[in-house]
């Protein structure tokens, strides 16, 4: 189960990354492994969790905060962004 790849299959997520000038290989889902360790205790087909997606671009780091909706059966993911922060690189 790879959330990043599932998100990148969605056109709207790719557009969001372009808006922040973040390349797909520069995306990291914080605590991704932890999400699936907890999930077997749930009795649902859809995982819904608040997450932070960290992206890097030429200006620094962009953190996107929001809710991940992940359908385990179809391996489809949707990210509902609620906010972001930009952290500039100091040179």
pLDDT for position 91: 57
Give mean pLDDT in consecutive 10-residue pieces for the chain, a chain of 91 residues: 81 90 92 71 76 94 94 88 89 57
> What is the pTM (predicted TM-score) of this model?
0.82
Q: Could you state, in order of their start, the residue ranges of all structural domains in the chain?
A: 3-88
Residue 60 has what pLDDT? Answer: 94
For tokens 């189960």, name the residue. Answer: 1
Q: What is the pLDDT of residue 11?
A: 83
- Res 1: pLDDT: 53
Nearest to 65 by CA among 86, 42, 38: 86
């Amino acid at each position: 189960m790879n959330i990043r790849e599932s998100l990148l299959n969605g056109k709207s997520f790719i557009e969001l990354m372009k808006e922040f000038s973040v390349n797909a290989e520069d995306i990291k889902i914080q605590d991704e492994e932890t999400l699936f360790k907890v999930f077997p205790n749930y009795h649902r087909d859809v995982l819904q969790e608040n997450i932070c997606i960290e992206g890097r671009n030429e200006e620094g780091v962009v953190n996107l905060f929001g809710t991940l909706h992940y359908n385990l059966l179809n391996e489809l993911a949707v990210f509902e962004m609620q906010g972001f922060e930009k952290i500039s690189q100091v040179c």
